[in-house]
Amino acid sequence: MNKMTVQDIEVKAKRVLVRVDFNVPLDEKTGEITDDNRIRAALPTIEYLRGQGAKVILMSHLGRPKGKVVESMRLGVAAKRLAQILGQPVAMAPDCVGPDVGNMVAAMKPGDVLMLENLRFHAEEEAGDVFFARALARLGDVYVNDAFGAAHRAHASVSAITEYLPAAAGFLMEKEVATLGKILENPARPFAALLGGAKISDKVGMLENIMDKVDYVMVGGGMAATFLKAKSYEVGQSLVEVDMLEAASRLMELAGREKVDLMLPVDVMVADEVSDEAKTEIVPVTEIPGEKRIVDMGPQTINNFSRELQKCKTIFWNGPVGIFEIPGFAGGTEELAKLLAGLEAMTVIGGGSTAEAVGDMGLAEKMTFVSTGGGASLEFLSGEKLPGVEALPGKK
């Protein structure tokens, strides 16, 4: 990555304002963190800065409070988990700007870590407000962006702040851009894009951009219903993005022209409802009952996908291939995750719920790379410029 990184700047004894992505999933009942991978992913940058004698000031968002204080979205839970991992106290600020926060920063010593409160409690953050960005910048001497998961947002703490402080990328940001960049520029072939999730709409741009680079596109999850519908199959009560039917047809035509093997399910698990108690059955895609919906792949589809994936040297996976939150509908996602974990190929997991699924199974460390940015990784692979990356200065 031809951008300034944290190793290119002097940080000793300086106040280093680090944008991290601690937007971690929380248990709805207990409020406890259910997956701390995003916190752990930022550790190399945090530990490096502490080792260099910097005063480390972390800022992040959590959830979508829409410019208001929401008690369940306070970042204290993330500060607590980080303190447990680091084995040292992590102070928690009452806000992310203001005199009280300024006083806490002034009292910091080299090696100290301070967590600012949820940036999105202020509407100015998502608006990219320059005055809010300047208020944040007053807390630091240097800015480091290690939040790839938020890099596709032109928010105050992501891009506007770089106008007011010397800026650089953290180690995670550097690794995300380098890994995803390799997929775009020089992937080892054969190369497969394994795609699931509910919607096709957020993946059209990426598919159009990488269609001339891949050998296989394998479609599962809810989005498979839109492709099947575009081929005039009956999909029952399955979610279909009606306004994306034309796009699905266009992508299938593009795959044909590029000689890409675009694989769709040949059999699926269907259910009468989305619940643990649902009655399920495996049916060919030509015989989906009108009153049921697709909830997972069928065994023949899993076999078809697995056979071709074993030939591949690069695999990018974004989106579960079934409703994996319900154990009875998680079989396809689990089978493919286990397969990828055992391959010699470069396996890149595209963040979001896919990363969560792989993490839940304890397989994250067996993948080549698990991205922390679902939406950001899709936009990057779509060829779009990410505001958080573009705002960082190039190497001198």
Catalytically active residues are: 38, 199, 352, 375
Judged by phi (left if over 0) then psi (alpha if -120 to 50, else beta), residue 265 lies in beta
Q: Amino acid letter at 266? A: V
* Alpha carbons 254 and 155: distance in angstroms, whole number: 35
345: exposed, middle or buried (Cβ count in 10 Å: 0-12, 13-18, 19+): buried
150: exposed, middle or buried (Cβ count in 10 Å: 0-12, 13-18, 19+): buried
* Alpha carbons 144 and 238: distance in angstroms, whole number: 44
Location of structure tokens 């480390």:
56
With a CB cutoff of 8 Å and minimum separation 6, the contacts of 216 are 190, 191, 192, 193, 260, 261, 262, 263, 308, 309, 312
| Residue-by-residue DSSP string for 270-281 | EESSSSTT--EE
Report the length, in residues, of the chain: 396
